[in-house]
Chains A and B, each alone.
Chain A
Amino acid sequence: MLEYLVFLLVVLPVLSAVALLCIKNEGPRKSVVIATGAVLAFCSLALFAGGSFQLRPQSMLGLDPDVLVTGLDFALLAVILGIAVKLKSPLLIALGLLQILPLGYFEYSFARHAAAGPSLAADNLSLIMVLLVGFVGSLVCVYGLGYMKEHEAHLGLKKTRQPRFFFFLVLFLGAMNGLVLSNSLAWVYFFWEATTVCSFALIGHDGTQEARANSVRALWMNMLGGVAFALALIAVYKASGTVLLSDLLAHPGGGASLALLAAFFLLCFAGFTKAAQLPFQSWLCGAMVAPTPVSALLHSSTMVKAGVYLILRLAPAYAGTSLSSLIALFGAFAFLTTAALAIGQSNAKKILAYSTIGNLGVIVACAGINTPASIAAGVMLLIFHAVSKALLFLCVGAIEQRIGSRDIEDMRGLIAVMPRAAALTVAGILTMLLPPFGVLLTKWMAIESAMASPLLVLILALGSALTVVFWTRWAGLLLSAPMPAAGLVAPGAAVQAASMRIPMTLLAYGAVLAGLASPLIYRSLAAPFVSLFYKGAAYDVSAGSFASGAGTFSVYPLFLLLGAGFFYALRLARRLPARSASAPYLCGEQTGDAAGNVFRGPLGPVAATPANLYLSAICGEEVLTRWINVIAMTMLAVMFGGIL
């Protein structure tokens, strides 16, 4: 049974992807994508119901699975090398060779690395990731159906390129499932490279010059991580004689040898590149040239989450070392600086990208703080962030298709044009920003678990204050429209295709309900994982409140009181009589137009064009990025140097 579930989760997407590559018609494509998504969601639930497991598949397609994976690994690297040669990029060729050679050495010298032990395993962290891929990832793929139709119509393509798009999109889900279910680092490495190739293909999908350039950047940065990973394989095996994660984590907290610590650093480095941590943030920012479902997938349930997954996964192994505290500082630094960078941005997708990097930074910091409370915070943030961020990306995609811009300044008053999408965006923003929702709960957990280090608390707290600025103003300007004369919703408002609308709505409900269910999520998902590796309970959860020695966060009371206030306010606002509508104040010189911001000037109407303060002299990319990169690289160097 278990084998079938794992097979369905990892191999079915591959088969579906191949089928999608061959399907040229829309109808069958729709059925295949929806069916695959449904199966993945169902299987992830079934797998979760079964609980944690360890598994050693005996044969696959008549071959020894280890041999198969090794063979596929070399094939994949050959493909990457082929891409590198085709692009005539010496850097990529070098990075490709730097992976093939160590891997060859590894497989040749330590051929028996897989001789014993389960190559697949899952505990709660893996199962959470599988659930995220199964639900959030599938919803994003379904959204892609409606989105790509519109997207290609907009581009005016003669021949549809959707088969290629959905091939990689669905393949991505399989690779991600494989990555989180693998117990052998050699297997993780294979899936790791598979996600790199998929993201390269998807980022460059539109084939424009910018898309190509950004996909190449994503490729080389992730290959850098791949090189680190390949070297780590050798280092781990040399230091400990095993590449099985379960063996490496068998003695949590037991002082790892220096060589092993160096190997862990290499793995974390690979995680940093994949999670787009500083100074590698530019590949994720550049990835937004891709069609929106790609961004949504990269940011929420796959790719970047693989990076933090690895770092969180290894956290018990490097607990209590100076590497751990440096990782905490590194993550917190990313959180603070990306919050500042996001303040300087008016490009919605870039704001989301920086916010993603920042939140991943918090997860990295949580892994580095390495207490039961912080690990629980990291695991929970993984969930809440995936749902909210997927929602926000899908909303921005829908908005961009309608208004032709992703600049938040162009989204002013969107509530009158696209009421549903705008309201969902505001909901997504509020779940990212405010209590009692999950993202904020985990931020609270992170700050309080960092209490031993004032510097860390300082950085996290400052970052948290900065995030308020860029979220609030975005939510506010979406609502900036005069009351329509008839009713609350303007006539002729846009409606998205069902395949786009339904995933967005489901994710919004998911984001709110996940916040409401946070005590349950803690008890049934995060706490069991934490207790595997750490002694002592992180939080005492009773009556919907999280309590620890450091403080208390009352989820249910807050939901009850703030929720009651909100719904009372909503009822009040909805029942406003039309006569209470008044034009915005323009010194009595309003022209009475629909936009509500046009002055009667001496020579004709003058529109007031408000704009946000972006503090570009302080928070601009061109001001900050260089310094941030220098500091981040120094921190990486110190981390590495500190071990040696």
Chain B
Amino acid sequence: MSLTDWINKGRLKSPWVVHFDCGSCNGCDIEVLACLTPLYDVERFGILNIGNPKHADVLVVTGTVNHRNKTVLKNIYDQMPGPKAVIAVGACGLSGGVFREAYNVVGGVDKVIPVDVYVPGCPAKPESIIDGVVKALDVVKTKLGLA
């Protein structure tokens, strides 16, 4: 195995997550945090909720994007060093959900930054969020040309 192979192995085994609440009702946020509890224990897969985009590999976004926080979302995405992936969680993150038509809402996350995996639900279940992260790893794999 070359060093690149080792590094690629590391990339798939250690997705560090930064979670950004873009204006969610907190339903999805609680489910994201539930993933850390002993019941789901995402650290099994090397997933850490790292809280700092500069350290993160995966951006998990919950909630609708509005005109106030779209720049924040963009800034956080830009401050993540590549390779990176984005997961939109919950109905609001996917499309704007029930707030879609509101005057101040931009829409789903993909209106501002490229989204790799969409996790539906209102709120999304912890299982599906974990599944989303695993899917995101597949996306990373494809991006790296490993798939």
Residues of B within 8 A of A590 (CB): 75
Q: Does A588 contact B (CB under 8 A)?
A: yes
CA distance A259 to B91 in the complex (A): 94
Contact of B54 among A585, A589, A600 (CB under 8 A): A585
Report whether B54 and A588 are in contact in the complex, using a CB–CB cutoff of 8 Å: no
Report whether B73 and A588 are in contact in the complex, using a CB–CB cutoff of 8 Å: yes
Residues of B within 8 A of A600 (CB): 71
CA distance A583 to B80 in the complex (A): 11
Report whether A585 and B79 are in contact in the complex, using a CB–CB cutoff of 8 Å: yes
Residues of B within 8 A of A589 (CB): 72, 75
Residues of B within 8 A of A587 (CB): 72, 76
Q: Does B63 contact A (CB under 8 A)?
A: no
Q: Does A582 contact B (CB under 8 A)?
A: yes
Closest Cβ of chain B to A584, distance in Å, is 9
Chain A: interface residue count, which band?
under 10
- Which residues from 540 to 586 on chain A have a C-beta closer than 8 Å to any C-beta of chain B? 582-583, 585
Report whether A582 and B75 are in contact in the complex, using a CB–CB cutoff of 8 Å: no
Report whether B71 and A588 are in contact in the complex, using a CB–CB cutoff of 8 Å: yes
Nearest CB to that of B78 among chain A residues? A582
- Which residues from 45 to 81 on chain B have a C-beta closer than 8 Å to any C-beta of chain A? 52-54, 71-76, 78-79, 81
Report whether B52 and A585 are in contact in the complex, using a CB–CB cutoff of 8 Å: yes
CA distance A585 to B18 in the complex (A): 13
Report whether A585 and B72 are in contact in the complex, using a CB–CB cutoff of 8 Å: no
Residues of B within 8 A of A588 (CB): 20, 53, 71-76, 79
- The 0/1 profile, CB within 8 Å of A marked 1, for residues 5-49 of chain B is 000000000000000100000000000000000000000000000
Most buried by B among A582, A583, A588: A588
Report whether B54 and A582 are in contact in the complex, using a CB–CB cutoff of 8 Å: yes
Most buried by A among B20, B71, B74: B71
CA distance A546 to B6 in the complex (A): 43
Residues of A within 8 A of B74 (CB): 588
Most buried by A among B71, B75, B81: B75
Residues of A within 8 A of B75 (CB): 583, 588-590
Residues of B within 8 A of A585 (CB): 52-54, 79
CA distance A585 to B81 in the complex (A): 13
Report whether A583 and B72 are in contact in the complex, using a CB–CB cutoff of 8 Å: no
Residues of A within 8 A of B54 (CB): 582, 585
CA distance A590 to B76 in the complex (A): 10
Closest Cβ of chain A to B113, distance in Å, is 12
Closest Cβ of chain B to A601, distance in Å, is 12
CA distance A582 to B53 in the complex (A): 12
- Which residues from 590 to 623 on chain A have a C-beta closer than 8 Å to any C-beta of chain B? 590, 600
Nearest CB to that of A580 among chain B residues? B81
Residues of B within 8 A of A582 (CB): 54, 78-79, 81
Nearest CB to that of B55 among chain A residues? A585
CA distance A590 to B78 in the complex (A): 12
- Which residues from 414 to 448 on chain A have a C-beta closer than 8 Å to any C-beta of chain B? none
CA distance A238 to B137 in the complex (A): 91
- The 0/1 profile, CB within 8 Å of A marked 1, for residues 81-107 of chain B is 100000000000000000000000000
Nearest CB to that of B72 among chain A residues? A588
CA distance A600 to B74 in the complex (A): 14
Nearest CB to that of B20 among chain A residues? A588
Residues of A within 8 A of B72 (CB): 587-589
Closest Cβ of chain B to A349, distance in Å, is 37
CA distance A588 to B73 in the complex (A): 7
Nearest CB to that of B68 among chain A residues? A602
Most buried by A among B54, B76, B79: B79
Nearest CB to that of A592 among chain B residues? B75
Residues of A within 8 A of B20 (CB): 588
CA distance A327 to B73 in the complex (A): 64
Nearest CB to that of A602 among chain B residues? B68
CA distance A549 to B7 in the complex (A): 48
Nearest CB to that of A582 among chain B residues? B79
Residues of A within 8 A of B79 (CB): 582-583, 585, 588
Residues of A within 8 A of B76 (CB): 587-588
Closest Cβ of chain A to B54, distance in Å, is 6
- The 0/1 profile, CB within 8 Å of B marked 1, for residues 89-104 of chain A is 0000000000000000
CA distance A583 to B73 in the complex (A): 15
Residues of A within 8 A of B81 (CB): 582
Closest Cβ of chain A to B138, distance in Å, is 27
Nearest CB to that of B75 among chain A residues? A588
CA distance A588 to B74 in the complex (A): 8
Nearest CB to that of B69 among chain A residues? A588
Nearest CB to that of A586 among chain B residues? B75
Nearest CB to that of B52 among chain A residues? A585
CA distance A590 to B79 in the complex (A): 11
CA distance A589 to B20 in the complex (A): 13
Residues of B within 8 A of A583 (CB): 75, 79
Residues of A within 8 A of B53 (CB): 585, 588
Nearest CB to that of A600 among chain B residues? B71
Closest Cβ of chain B to A603, distance in Å, is 13
CA distance A587 to B72 in the complex (A): 7
Residues of A within 8 A of B71 (CB): 588, 600
Closest Cβ of chain A to B19, distance in Å, is 13
CA distance A164 to B121 in the complex (A): 84
Closest Cβ of chain A to B77, distance in Å, is 9
User: Beyond the given A582-B81, A585-B79, A588-B74, could you list 15 further A-B residue pairs with CB under 8 A, ordered by the A residue number?
Assistant: A582-B54, A582-B79, A583-B75, A583-B79, A587-B72, A587-B76, A588-B20, A588-B53, A588-B71, A588-B73, A588-B76, A588-B79, A589-B72, A589-B75, A590-B75
* Contacts from A to B (Cβ < 8 Å): 582-583, 585, 587-590, 600
13 contacts between A and B (CB under 8 A): A582-B54, A582-B79, A582-B81, A583-B79, A585-B53, A585-B79, A587-B76, A588-B72, A588-B73, A588-B74, A588-B76, A589-B72, A600-B71
Q: Top 10 A-B pairs ranked by shortest CB distance?
A: A588-B72, A588-B75, A588-B76, A585-B54, A582-B79, A589-B72, A585-B79, A590-B75, A585-B52, A585-B53
